[in-house]
């Protein structure tokens, strides 16, 4: 398999080494600590440090700015490895590499990149992506947070909801309206707001269904004053496009993460079926159990192929809209089904805390919700195809 592409900064040999190290880290360091992470609702400091040392806070940040410089074809291979353990691991550095970091990489001015990207890539800076608001989740173009020009500054006021890594963030990438939507666009800009700025308030962390160790919170911006240099790309019209591009890229990554979780649920299921017995026979000898495993394996293989295809289309710039949504829709739904079957294969044991598939069952539920729900992916795919046909 060729993992590099013309756009790759890292060649196949170096990438294979990075992939092997990541796989070993996930399986030998993080997997044995999953229970501790779930119980303490935190990633242990030594794991955070190890991830920093491996460059995992900046694997998708270009080398020029201190990252490892992986492209999306390579990113998804790594994401399938991260997906093999608690999703809290990936969440720790997911916003730096993904939704928040990519806004700067693709739309920041050189000065903004110089100021922030090295810290983001090293993990010294935790960046959060602050788009969602009450009433503006699936439809972010309806967001109400306002940025008002005052002399050379901007003053931001509004409320953001469910912001990943907010309790740890040093930098918020904040989407705010500078004018009502008009013929020139949705009127949404994006600003770089250090978390220590006066008027930024991070609420207590949310109590979630799963993904313990990954934190989200509401963030309030109460008359937060930032200089003109905080406006990403130096343009009021960059914000909405930056959000859409970051989210579309993120969808391929989330699809890969889903494949990783599904693979883990499958492996746990096969291992359990091969050894757990009923009436003296391993349950894996029953054909109805084999059928569940067959459906899991089929989903995982189809998902993996789809992710690789979508990542290549992204890097080659042949499809950056339909394919990411197809991959996210299929793989996140598939991971939900595979996790459900995994609990079924484990019987009552699968309903007990401390069994990996119980955690996976809860953790994968989020994948169908954030970075665009399954319904939104269907709208993008179906609507996109029909519009293309209408354009002729």
Give residues in contact with ligand FAD (CB under 6 A).
129-132, 137-138, 162-164, 208, 216, 366, 369-371, 373, 375-376, 379
Instruction: Please give the torsion angle defined by the CA atoms of residues 34, 36, 38 and 39, in that order, rounded to the nearest 10 degrees.
Output: 160
Nearest residue (CB) to ligand FAD, 111 versus 375? 375
Instruction: Give yes or no: 371 in active site.
Output: yes
Cα separation, 372 vs 378, in Å, equals: 10
Q: What is the CA radius of gyration of the chain?
A: 21
Task: Give the Cβ contact number of residue 299 at 10 Å.
Answer: 25
The single-letter DSSP state of residue 204 is P
Residue nearest to ligand FAD (CB): 137
CB of 1 to ligand FAD, least distance (A): 32
Q: Is 13 buried (19+), middle (13-18) or exposed (0-12) by CB count in 10 A?
A: exposed
CA 277 vs CA 273, 297, 351, 352: distances in Å? 8, 22, 17, 18
Nearest residue (CB) to ligand FAD, 18 versus 127? 127
Cα separation, 44 vs 178, in Å, equals: 40
CB of 155 to ligand FAD, least distance (A): 21
Q: Are 230 and 221 in contact (CB under 8 A)?
A: no
Residue of 118, 358, 371, 375 marked active site: 371
CB of 24 to ligand FAD, least distance (A): 28
Q: Is 310 buried (19+), middle (13-18) or exposed (0-12) by CB count in 10 A?
A: buried
CB of 138 to ligand FAD, least distance (A): 3
CB of 235 to ligand FAD, least distance (A): 21
Nearest residue (CB) to ligand FAD, 35 versus 373? 373
Nearest residue (CB) to ligand FAD, 56 versus 100? 100
Nearest residue (CB) to ligand FAD, 129 versus 154? 129
Catalytic residues: 371
């Amino acid at each position: 398999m060729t993992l590099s592409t013309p756009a790759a900064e890292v060649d196949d040999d170096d990438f294979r080494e990075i992939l092997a190290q990541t796989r070993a880290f996930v399986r030998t360091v993080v997997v044995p600590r999953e229970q501790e992470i779930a119980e303490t609702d935190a990633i242990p400091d030594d794991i955070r440090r190890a991830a920093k040392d491996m460059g995992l806070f900046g694997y998708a940040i270009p080398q020029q700015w201190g990252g490892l410089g992986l492209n999306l074809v390579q990113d998804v291979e790594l994401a399938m490895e991260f997906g093999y353990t608690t999703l809290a691991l990936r969440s720790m550095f997911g916003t730096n590499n993904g939704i928040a970091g990519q806004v700067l990489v693709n739309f920041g001015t050189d000065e903004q990149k110089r100021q922030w990207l090295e810290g983001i890539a090293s993990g010294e800076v935790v960046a959060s992506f602050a788009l969602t608001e009450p009433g503006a989740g699936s439809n972010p173009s309806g967001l109400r947070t306002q940025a008002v020009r005052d002399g050379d500054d901007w003053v931001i006021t509004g409320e953001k909801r469910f912001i990943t890594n907010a309790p740890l963030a040093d930098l918020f990438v904040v989407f705010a309206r500078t004018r009502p939507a008009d013929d020139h666009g949705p009127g949404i800009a994006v600003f770089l707001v250090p978390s220590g700025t006066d008027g930024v308030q991070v609420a207590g962390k949310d109590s979630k269904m799963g993904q313990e160790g990954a934190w989200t919170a509401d963030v309030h911006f109460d008359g937060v004053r930032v200089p003109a240099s905080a406006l990403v790309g130096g343009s009021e019209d960059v914000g909405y496009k930056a959000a859409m591009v970051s989210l579309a890229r993120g969808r391929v990554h989330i699809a890969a993460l889903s494949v990783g979780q599904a693979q883990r649920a499958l492996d746990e299921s096969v291992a359990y079926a091969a050894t757990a017995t009923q009436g003296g026979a391993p349950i894996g000898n029953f054909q109805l159990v084999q059928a569940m495993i067959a459906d899991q394996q089929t989903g995982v293989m189809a998902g993996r192929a789809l992710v690789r295809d979508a990542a290549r289309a992204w890097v080659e710039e042949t499809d950056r809209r339909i394919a990411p949504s197809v991959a996210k829709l299929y793989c996140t739904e598939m991971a939900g089904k595979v996790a459900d079957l995994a609990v079924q294969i484990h019987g009552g044991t699968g309903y007990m805390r401390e069994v990996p598939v119980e955690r996976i069952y809860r953790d994968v539920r989020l994948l169908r919700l954030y970075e665009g729900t399954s319904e939104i992916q269907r709208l993008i795919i179906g609507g996109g195809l029909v519009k293309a046909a209408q354009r002729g």
